[in-house]
Structures are given as structure tokens and as C-alpha cells.
Structure 1
Amino acid sequence: MSNKNNQHMFRLALLLGLFSTLGPFTIDMYLPAFPEIVKQFDTTASLVQLSLTACLLGLGIGQIVMGSLSDVYGRRNPLLISMAVYVAASLACAFSPNIGLLIAFRFVQGFAASAGIVISRAIARDMYSGTELTKFFSLLLLVGNLGPLVAPVTGSGILSFTTWIGVFIALAVLGIYLLAMTKWSLQETLPSDRRRPSNFVEQLRNYGLLLRDRQFVGYMLAQGIMIAGVFAYVSGTPFIYQNIYGASPTVFALLFGSNGISLIIGSQVVGRMSHRVSEHAFLLFGLWLACLASVAVLVVAIVHGPLFALVIPLFFFVASIGITSTA
């Protein structure tokens, strides 16, 4: 591959990687502000955590819907509309008068952000195949994995000079930038002759076939359990670190962001050793690592251990996520 093609691949991976990080930024950037949001709305920690649940639901449902729409209408137009909705939803979150509306707008925000995740991968498959696609996905994964590392630190930095409202305004600015890049720098990669007509019944039939596949269901349940653990970790640590251990938003962001390193390590280990170790073996190792780390976290919680004793097993738990999600 020529240097010119390599440069084009790198620039495209950087742009699509930014779309991939929209999910982590939308999830993680406001985590240091959880205690502040509780006080602002005079509400409970559970309801603030529900705003995170709503965002995750939006991200999950949105990827199914937006993936199908991008196959029917192309990549660019659904992405343009989604980024515009993302900007509007981010501003609506910033100026929500109560926790109920914040939860509702977080769902919309997550739904819109999902387009960046699923369509960026679809664009990659449109443009590359074989070894070039593998190389491109490794670049995309490298950029995308920076999101969990950078997002909480960025959110903490914003909170050092403004309130949680500033976090959502910053997300709106990020959405405006991605909207502009989609408008002026991203070309349509799925021509009309390659688009598939919408067939909702056929999609339901395909989902039914998948659910009758015992191996698929087994892997899906394993991954679902891991994701449940991630949700408990993401939604619980802001309060545990700051309210129980007295960490500042900056310290929380640094501790939370450092686990992004373990996520990158886990995924890169799988990528580097995939030719030596089977995917099934990696999956089993990741699940065992998650179990051991979870037991260690439980022991620390029961004996009320120090903060560092909690951070260490959580580091390995997040590494197991990188392993299982890549395997």
C-alpha cells in the first residue's frame, strides 16, 4: 500500500474513530458530576443512575435501528440527521428543569450517538476488505478505545471551572464538530445500487434464527452478563469513589480513566496473540478473570478495604471486558 493510501486510511480512521468515541464520551464524560446532579435536582442517586441507564438503552436500541436505516438510505444522510439530533438532545440535557426530563433526553442523546458507532463501522466495511479491513479496524479500535480514557478526565476538567451543565454543552459542541465533518468531509460510501430495501419481517425472521442458535445465545448471555457488570461499575463508582472514599471529581476521573488503559491492554493482547490462541480460549480466560476480579471487589466491599484495594481488581475487571469484547 502506498504512503498516500496509508495517509488516507489514517485520516479516515481518525475521523471515524471520533464517531466511535461519541458513545464513551456520552456515557463517561458526565460521571464525575453525579453527586452534583443529585444536589442540583434534590433527587436520589438511583434516579441519576437511571439517566445513565436511559442513555445505554438508547445506544443499544439505536445501533439496531440506525444500522438497518443506513443499509436502506445510505451512510451519510442518517449520520447527518443523527448528529443534528445529538446536538439538540445535548442542549436539552444541559437545560433540563428536572431529573425526569434529563432521563428522557439522555435516551434521545444515546440513540443519536449510536449512529456514529454503527455507521462508522459500516463505512469501513464499504471501503475496505480483507487485510486492509483488518488493518483499518485495528486503527479504528485504537482511536475508539481512547474515549473511556479521555472522557472522564475531560469532564472533570470542565467541572473544575463550571457546573455539570457545561459538560453537556461541551458534548453539544462535539456534536456540532462531527456534524460539520459529516457535511463537508465525509462522502457517501454506499451507492444506491448497493442499498437493501427495507424488510421488517425479514429482519424479525433473522433475529429468530439467531435466537434458535444455542451457541450464539450462549455467547450473547456471556457478553450480556459482562455488560451488566460494566453498567454496575460505571454507574456505581462515581458515588463510591466520591461519597464513600471522599475522592474529588479530578481524582475520580483519573482513577476511572486509568481503567481505560486496561481496556486497551486487554483488546490489544487479543489482537497480538490471535494467531496463537483461539477466540474461545480468550473468551474463557476473560470470563474467569472477570469472575476473580468480581470476587475480589466483593471482599473489599465486605471488609471496607482501602481505595487502592478496590481500584486494583476493578482494573483487571475492565481488562477482562477488553478481552471478551475483542475475542
Structure 2
Amino acid sequence: MSELRIGIIGVGAMGADHAERIVRRTSGARLVAVSDPDAARAEELASRLSARVVADPLALIGARDVDAVILASPGFAHAEQLFACLEHGKPVLCEKPLTMDAASSLQVVEAEHKLGRQLIQVGFMRRFDPEYTALKQLLDSGELGRPLLLHNVHRNKANGPGFRSEMIVRDSMVHEVDVARWLLGSEISRITVHAPKPTSAVPDGVLDPQFAVFEMANGAMADVEVFVNFQVGYEVRCEAVAERGSATIGLGAGVLTRAAGHWGGAMPEDFRIRFDRAYDIEVQRWVEAVGRDEIDGPSAWDGYAAAAVCEAGLASLSTGQPVTVDLADRQAVLG
């Protein structure tokens, strides 16, 4: 296949960003179709990028001129769309979450396994960020000894009025769930989510910020502060502490200025700026992997494991108590 023909379902902020990426910065790929409930938005994007609009997302998945699919639709639509991709044998890059709950995510994992080939890659893009990649390589090298602790900070400038407490776990903290599993090479066995008195920037009833502790099956631990109405900018930091040293990423790689009695740099407005390079690498490698009939990144199992941890995290958020993660036996599921 000389050129991978891609359809994108969901062309809000993330899907539109991917559409531009496919057209302007990804080799070996061509955008052929988009689908979105907002017909005007889909038509505008399709017209600008020389693609066509398919009103029904399932029809897009089944289209003969669509070789692979990017799902940037809302999480509640993912299960049906993923099963359709599996039915049609279409490789799919699915933005998180895999699905909205652990049970349906496990069903997706099982359905893919029955096909005998991996078609689903989950969009945990931090695994492709050069800083995170360097940290992973350092930890895996053994130079610092066995990793013991992982400290994470995840702050957004602001979120819309409809952003609820549970979304902080499912839509934001989920990235640190995957990062902890990946960097520490272990599943999360127990999670505790705490919430201090909320910031005055959120409506009554919204718990923001939140602080979580992950207990890993291999004995390591991780923590994360998630603050989605930080008011300042977008900030993601990670420090790994090992037996013989520590390493930190996310301190900012921009220009540090000193002027007018002040010193400092700039903070990005949102995740698309901070992780722009990671998204470029992720999509390019996905396109190349599809050409080899492979995936090259987080699997459906990774999406399921993250869903199971977030489900336990929501239970902990409601009680403030540790909750054991109910994770299926991987060997039993995947053989």
C-alpha cells in the first residue's frame, strides 16, 4: 500500500488537529473522509482539506476507500465504533478512553484477540513525547537502579463549565495512569484519590484539584496532582526516583528571559501545544505500523487497564479510601 487512506470520526479540537496533521505533516497517508454530528463543522474541514463528509460514522468505517480510522469521537461512542472497526478489519487509532468502563473495554480486548491480529492502538501520546521516551530509556537502562517512586503534576489552564469531578479522573488523570504503568513496568494494584477544598474557580460540587496515589504490583508507588483549572497555563511534569538517583522531565524547554526586573519563560495554553511533537510522532509511527500490519504503541489491553484503574479511582474519589483495581488476568485473556 503506497498511501494509507484515513477516515476520522469526530472533528472537534482533537480530530481537527489530527486531520491537519495527516494532510500537512504525515508521510504515506491521505485524509479521505470525516464524520461528525456537527455537519457544518465537518463540511468546513472537509472542504478545506479536500476530503468528503460521511454523515454516519459506521458507514465511514465500512467505506471501501477508507483503509484505517482515527477515532476522536466522544468516549461513549467508542465501543460501537471499535467493534465496527474490528468487524471490517480496519486498523484504528483510538483517542482515550478506549471505552467508558472496564467491562466494555475488556469486551473490546477479547473481540480483538479472537481476530488473531492487533488492530487497535490507543492514543496515549505521552509515550511518543521525546522527553518521556528519554526517561523511559533511562529507567530501563538500569543506570539509576530500580525505580521506587514516580511524582506527576498535570495542570490545565481552564476547562469548560460542563467539566465534572469524574472527568478529572477519566479524561485527565488517565494519562498518568498509563504513564505510571509504562514507566514503572507494572500494573496498578490499588488507587486512592483525595480531594482538598476545591479551587474557587469551579462551581459547587466540582472537586478540583485532585491528588491520587497509585500502588504498583511490583512494589513501586506513584502520585499525581491533577488541577484542571490552574488559571496559569498547561503544565505537565514527571519525576522518577530510583535507588541511585532521580530524573525529571517537563521543566520547560523554552527560552528563559531576564528583563524589567523579572525572569522566566512562557507556558503553553493547552495540551496540543505541549505535546504537538508527540502527536506527530505517534501518528507517523501508527501509519508506518499499519503498513506492516502491526501496531506501534499502547494496545487495547493498555486501554482496558487504564479504564479499570479509573473505575477504581472514581470509587475512591467518592469515599476517600483506597480501592483495589479489579483487573482481569492478562494471560487468561490473551493467552
Q: Give the TM-score, by structure 1 length.
A: 0.28
Higher fraction of helix: 1
